[in-house]
Amino acid sequence: MSSAVRPKTFASGAGLVWRWQRILWWVFIVNLVLAHFAIRGLVDRVSPTLVHSSASQRLVNGFDLTAVMELAVQPDAPLETPGPVVFHYSVIFAIFMIFSTGGILATYVFDAKPTTTAFFEACGHHFWRFVRLLVYMALAFIPIGILIAICSAIHNSIDDKSNSSYPAAYFAGASSFLILLLLMVLRLWFDMAQVIAVAEDETRMHRALRGAASLLNHNFGSLFWLYLRISLLAWIFCGLGLYLWMYQLSPLSITTAFLLTQLMLIFWIATRLWQRAGEALWYRQYQAAIVTEPTYSPSPAPVPVPYSTAMN
Amino acid sequence: MLRSLTTVLFAATLLLFARGTAKFSTPQSGVPNARAPEASSSTPGSPLSTRVVAYTIDAKLNTTSHSIDATETLVYKNLTGQPQQSFPFHLYMNAFQPQSTLMTEVRMSGARGVGSDSGWNEKNRGSISVTKLEVEGSGDLTDRMQFIQPDDHNTNDRTVFQVTLPKPVAPGASVEFHMTFHDQLPEVLYRTGYKRDFYMIGQWFPKVGVWWKNAWNCHQFHADSEFFADFGTFDVDVTVPQNEILGAGGDLVSSVNNPDGTKSAKFHSEDVHDFSWTASPDYTVVEDSWTGSAGPVKLHVLMSPGHMASAPRYVQALKGTLAWYDKNIGPYPYDRITVVDPAHGAFNAGGMEYPTLITAGTTWYLPKGVLAPEDVVNHEFGHQYWYGMVATNEFEDAWLDEGINSYVEAKSMAALYGENTSIVNLPFATASNAQLLRIEYISLADTDPITRFSWKFISDNAYGGVTYGKTATVLLTLEKVVGEQTMLAALHEYFLRYRFKHPTGEDFLKTIEDVSHQDLKWYFDQAVYGTNILDYDIWDAHSDRLNWWEKQIPRKKSADEIYRTYVTVHRKGDFIFPVDLLVKFEDGSTTTEHWDGRDRWVRYTYDRKSKVASAQIDPGNKIMLDRNFFNNSYVVDGDKRAVRKLENIWVFASEWISQFLAWVS
């Protein structure tokens, strides 16, 4: 991108999320509802034990860890780990997000109020493309997995040879941070590919990925800084929320705790959407700025772009 | 954020505190390290124990091959009352071989943090070989050494050998053994070994068995067993490279630098039944002192790199525990106690007790509210009493040292750190030591009786849950029967009666009966010798209008309504224990019932002008053996707050797992 073109995507991206906040609420509600389904069985099992027992006050007036353990080790196991069920519902949520990403990105790319029909048309239109992208992403995870294995081996070696636990801990911290940044770059790349797929109605995902890589290669600093800033905000907010929840809230403030945790989640989802909106906005402004000198040539669109009416 | 800052300040303060301390206090040659306690029947200056053994060991540590070459002289005094011709010896270090009994048991069910699926690591191989054995007056008997396997006949196990002398040793006479032996140390495993340049040397020399109950008691080394030995004296000369900082379960008598770059340190210890030592060039020595009813005690804490933040926590816990024991159990008669903080990666050397030396354990990231360093020091110091002085047979009666010690740990940690916060004390979560021990028991409540030999439990978890958790819980519950003060008085009496002796389980139980003036057979039969489950529940608690067949009286006259309340208490388990029942009514009135628990259930009926509000068995939750506290009560107006709190946590966790999956897809 020419130095003259520096879209103010950070603030404008937030504006997009705010303008189309219905998306945020829907994502949040689906996440919440699925989480409730995931732990419903556990709540049903534990309720008869706790509701009419005065021993449950050990969990009300504080949080006695041994009370939780006592529930877990009872022969009838009212506190059986809900892990598999939670995972299943999380997979459903992940599929829902892959499905809805087409509609979400179309809304952000074209910045126009979609009808429900148009939104879901966009979702369906892009769903299988994004599934194909997921396969590419799984391949991209392989080198990162290898890197994680190498870092783990180095960590174990340092841990074994060092007289103090600090060198290994420092290495673990540094390598984790590095891997996190790499994952963020990967996410940025695939997010951009999704934006291209929606904006240009690109059908071939390898082309979208190649185009996204090219864009990223030439504009890495601005795009990564956009993502990183938003991520930092998300981490700070959630860290603060966790601190308030664990250290400041009274154990009896159960409703407040619920609201706080959900607020953290809403903010987290909002920042994720902010990244997507910022990237979509960046791409839109970028395309407008370099229309005479394109660095990426999309393939001809085989089907009409959704929201065409709204765009006009 | 604030807590992090506090931790940094805390560590900085600690470094100032630790800086410049001497490596060891000036040795005072000839000063005995055990004093006659005031409450002892011994006269001042006389031995505290009946000294059966006198070991003199000269050992040289090779830090390149991680091995020890040593000579040992053992003078054994025959106080068995009969002639003795065969003598068994422990060779514990031979357990660190794949086909040993210990490793076979580990492979079966795991133990001490080593999983049953763990593969064999050649670094963990350890051995001890006695290359020469002479007996004064009988000559070289090396050829007469014979490995025996009294417990399981595993001929691959070489942790016990026996030697038969040409002629018996007369009662009252002494016999002198001279041995030359070589230890190959394992990388730290089962309390002992090396890790890089850290050495924890325990159970490292040929150690004679104990004549007990009219027979030799010399068990093989098992995965779930500890040790048993006679009291005596130890004079140990240790030669190590000059850069090594030493710690030992004895007083440093002298330390001499040798021309070859090594130094030889001589230690003396008496009225103890074992000797262990440690060496590392990386230790930071923290010294302190504490004065109890038997005089001053020097505290030596040997801290490994990266763990200095835990040093003041160790010291504070040690001082608090010393004071608690001094006040409630009896005087600590030795003039020193050494705490070894195992090196990073040598965690398996931690959490162990030897006479006047204990090993602790910590990590660099432990917040102050997680009281693990304090707890391990408290527990291991407690073993100075229950194992160190009251020297029970840890092979056969593990509950007498680990169980009693766990009970006292629960009491003393509660006294030092709060009843409900004695193991975890964080702003958002708490846990008590006593409840944690109870949880250990609940999970494996009925597999084995407490009195089972340590290596015969169904699993390693059962050994831990029953020996530590159940015994502590049995004694906590016994407070409900005899009273807390009586229990402490009984322990005090047990300590005074049996310190420097080898008591049995019967001795312990009889002491409690003597002090409480109660026949407790009914309790001990179920709790100690049996595997009975104690679980009571409220089967039913509800109220009904007495004249139920009549139409409901209008609200304005409801004050005259009589209700019949039914409360049914059910004994779910086979453990019979008398219980109290507290019934509360809506008008605030209460009534208490006492049920002997003999029948399977009992129903109480009340006719009152008020409906039942709640019914609760054992209102103070004193019957810790009850497997389930949640079914001990029934509150008519339910309270969903606990469920909502758990639900909130689970929903939050579930939402974040979803977010993570969505992010990576």
- pLDDT tens digit sequence for B185-237: 999 998 999 999 999 999 999 999 999 999 999 999 999 999 999 999 999 99
| Interchain CB distance below 8 Å, B630 and A57 | no
Among residues B383, B337, B384, B340, the alpha carbon closest in space to that of B362 is found at B340
Residue A244 touches chain B, beta carbons under 8 Å: no
Q: In the predicted model, is pLDDT for residue B268 greater than 70? A: yes
**Which residues lie closer than 8 Å to B640 by C-beta, 6 or more apart?**
A47, A51
* Partner B, chain A 63-92, Cβ-Cβ below 8 Å: 63-66, 68-71, 73-74, 82, 86-87, 89-91
The candidate with the shortest Cα–Cα distance to B571, out of B612, B530, B618, B622, is: B618
B114: helix, strand or coil: strand
Residue B639 corresponds to which tokens in the numbers above? 């309270």
> From the CA of A22, how many Å to the nearest CA of chain B?
18
Q: Which residues of A touch B660 (CB under 8 A)?
A: 90
User: Which of B195, B641, B649 to mutate to test binding with chain A, by most A CBs within 10 Å of its CB?
Assistant: B641
Among candidate residues B396, B431, B455, the one where a domain is terminated: B396
> CATH number, domain at B75?
2.60.40.1730
Determine contact, residues B14/B309, Cβ cutoff 8 Å: yes
CA-to-CA dists, residue B518 to A2, B473, B624, angstroms: 94, 20, 20
Q: CB of B245 within 8 Å of any CB in chain A? A: no
B124 CA: distance to closest CA in chain A (Å) = 14
- Quote the minimal CA–CA distance from B576 to chain A in Å: 20
Dist CA B118 CA B19 (whole Å): 41
Q: Kindly state the tokens that stand for B136.
A: 């004064």
The answer to whether residue B657 sits within a structural domain is no
Domain boundary among B483, B504, B527: B527
Q: Which residues form the domain of A76?
A: 9-311
Residue A4 falls inside a structural domain: no
Please check whether residue A142 touches B, CB under 8 A: no
Across the interface, do A257 and B645 touch by the CB < 8 Å criterion?
yes
How large is the average pLDDT for residues B333-348? Answer: 95
pLDDT at position B4 is 35
In a domain, B469, yes or no: yes
Asked if residues A53 and B635 have their Cβ atoms less than 8 Å apart, the reply is yes
What local confidence, expressed as pLDDT, does residue A2 receive?
42
Average pLDDT over residues B143-165: 97
* B263 & B233 share domain: yes
Residue B158 maps to a domain: yes
Task: Please state the rounded mean pLDDT for residues A144-156.
Answer: 96
Q: Which of A160, A164, A186, A244 to mutate to test the interface with B (most CBs of B within 10 A)?
A: A164
Residue A80 is predicted with a pLDDT of: 72
Does the residue B121 lie in any domain?
yes
Question: Which residues from chain A sit within 8 angstroms of residue B304, using beta carbons?
Answer: 163-164
Do B654 and A34 count as a contact with CB atoms less than 8 A apart? yes
Q: What is the pLDDT of residue B556?
A: 53
Instruction: State the best of B538, B646, B663 to mutate against chain A, taking most chain A CBs within 10 Å.
Output: B646
Closest CA to B209 of B467, B396, B454: B396
- pLDDT of A305 higher than 90: no
Predicted pLDDT of residue B116: 75
Beta carbons within 10 angstroms of residue A117's beta carbon: 9
Best residue of A30, A42, A63 to probe chain B, by most B CBs closer than 10 Å:
A63
CB contact under 8 A, A163 and B635: no
Residues of B numbered 256-295 whose beta carbons fall under 8 angstroms of chain A's beta carbons: which are they?
282
- Over the range B548-581, which residues count as b (16 or more CB within 10 Å of their CB) and which as e? eeeeeeeeeeeeeeebbbbbbbbbbbebbbebbb
- Report the pLDDT averaged over residues B288-294: 96
Name chain A contacts of B341, Cβ cutoff 8 Å. Answer: none
Residues of A in Cβ contact (< 8 Å) with B424: 65
**CB-based contact (8 Å) between A12 and chain B?**
no
Lowest mean pLDDT segment, chosen from A112-126, B40-54, B100-114, B304-318:
B40-54
Contact A188, A290 (CB under 8 A): no
Shared domain check, B298 and B208:
yes
Separation of first and last alpha carbons in chain A: 27
Residues B195, B255 within the same domain: yes
Report the SS3 class of residue B115: coil
Q: Which residues of A touch B426 (CB under 8 A)?
A: 246
The number of folded domains in chain A is: 1
Amino acid at B569: V
Query: B361 and B408: one domain?
Result: no
Whether A3 is covered by a domain: the verdict is no
Report the candidate in A113, A278, A85, A102 with the shortest Cα–Cα distance to residue A201.
Answer: A102
Sort out which chain B residues have CB atoms less than 8 A from A164's CB and list them.
304-306, 344, 364
ipTM (interface predicted TM): 0.90
Say yes or no for a CB contact (<8 Å) between A90 and B196.
no
Note whether residue A91 is domain-resident.
Answer: yes
**In 3D, which of B400, B458, B389, B406 has the Cα closest to residue B224?**
B458
Of A98, A164, A246, the CB nearest to B344: A164
pLDDT one-digit tens code per residue, B158-185: 999 999 999 999 999 999 999 999 999 9
Q: What is the reported pLDDT for B542?
A: 96
Candidates B623, B577, B617, B628; CA nearest to B442 is: B628
B428 touches chain A (CB under 8 A): yes
Give the number of beta-carbon pairs within 8 Å between A and B: 204
Q: Do A272 and B663 count as a contact with CB atoms less than 8 A apart? A: yes
Regarding whether B199 and B278 lie in a shared domain, the answer is: yes
Whether B647 is in a domain gets the answer no
Task: Note down the domain range covering B98.
Answer: 2-36+46-396
Inform me whether the C-beta atom of residue B532 falls under 8 Å from chain A C-beta atoms.
no
Identify all chain A residues contacting B420, using CB atoms and an 8 Å cutoff.
Answer: 62, 64
Say how many residues make up chain B. 665
Do the chains contact at A169 and B365, CB–CB below 8 Å? yes
Closest CB from A50, A86, A137 relative to B642:
A50
Question: What residue of A is the nearest CA neighbor of B426?
Answer: A247
Reference A94, options B56, B294, B664; nearest CA is B664
Q: Which residues of B touch A170 (CB under 8 A)?
A: none
- Which residues, other chains included, contact B98 with Cβ-Cβ below 8 Å and sequence gap of 6+? B120
Cα–Cα dist B382/B386, whole Å = 6
E strand or H helix at A200: none
Over residues B508-519, mean pLDDT: 98
To the nearest whole Å, the CA of B615 is away from the closest chain A CA by 9
Total length of chain A: 312
Residue B167: CB atoms within 10 A of its CB come to 10
- Of B25, B12, B5, nearest in space to B253 by CA: B25
Indicate the residue type of B443: S
pLDDT in tens, B343-364: 999 999 999 999 999 999 999 8
CATH value at residue B569:
2.60.40
**Lowest model confidence (mean pLDDT) among A70-79, A189-198, A238-247, A249-258:** A70-79
pLDDT tens digits, residue range B226-260? 999 999 999 999 999 999 999 999 999 999 999 99
Residues B117 and B254 in one domain: yes
| % chain B with pLDDT above 90 | 86
pLDDT, position A149:
97
pLDDT at B46: 87
- Domain count of the fold of chain B: 3
Residues of chain A contacting residue B621, judged by C-beta atoms under 8 Å apart? 55
Give percent above pLDDT 70 in chain A: 90
pLDDT-derived band of residue B34, with 50, 70 and 90 as boundaries? low
Check whether residue B202 and residue B334 sit in a common domain: yes
Q: Are residues B124 and B228 in the same domain?
A: yes
Using the predicted structure, report yes or no on whether residue B552 has a pLDDT greater than 80.
no
Nearest to B439 among A42, A70, A163 (CB): A70
> Do the strands B262-272 and B590-595 form a parallel or antiparallel pair, or are they unpaired?
unpaired
Domain boundary among B396, B423, B456: B396
- The answer to whether residue B660 sits within a structural domain is no
| B633 with A53: Cβ contact below 8 A | yes
Which residues on chain A are in Cβ contact (under 8 Å) with B651? 32, 35-36, 39, 261
Q: How confident is the model at residue B7 (pLDDT cuts 50, 70, 90)?
A: very low
Q: Which of A34, A162, A257 sits opposite B658 (nearest CB)?
A: A34
Mutate to test the interface with B, among A26, A27, A28, A39 (most CBs of B within 10 A): A39
Asked whether residue B288 falls in the same domain as residue B157, the answer is yes
Q: Which residue has the higher pLDDT, A239 or A312?
A: A239
> The tokens of A203 are what?
């059908």
Structure tokens at A174: 């540094």
Judgement on whether residues B557 and B473 belong to the same structural domain of the protein: no
Q: Is residue B655 domain-resident?
A: no
Beta-sheet strand order (sheet of B232-241) = B139-140, B127-135, B174-184, B67-77, B53-62, B232-241, B262-272, B251-257
Of residues B427, B649, B366, the one with CA closest to residue A247 = B427
Q: Is A197 near chain B, with CB under 8 Å?
A: no
Looking at the complex, report in whole angstroms how far the Cα of residue A298 sits from the nearest Cα belonging to chain B: 24
pTM of the complete model = 0.89
Q: Which pLDDT score, from 0 to 100, does residue A300 have? A: 52
Contact residues on chain A for B1, CB-CB shorter than 8 A: 243
CB pair distance less than 8 Å for A66 and B435: yes
Q: Hey, which of B8-22, B42-56, B559-573 has the most confident mean pLDDT? A: B559-573
Q: How many CB atoms lie within 10 A of CB B184?
A: 18
* Residues 24-43 (A) with a CB less than 8 A from some CB of B: 31-32, 34-36, 38-39, 42-43
Angle subtended by helix axes A254-289 and A21-50, to nearest 10? 160
| Residues 442-461 of chain B whose Cβ lies under 8 A from any Cβ of chain A | 442-443
Q: Do A70 and B654 lie within an 8 Å CB cutoff?
A: no
* CA-based R_g, chain A, Å: 23
Q: Do A258 and B430 touch (CB under 8 A)?
A: no
Say whether both B357 and B497 belong to one domain.
no
Contact A159 B345 (CB under 8 A): yes
Both B504 and B378 in a single domain? no
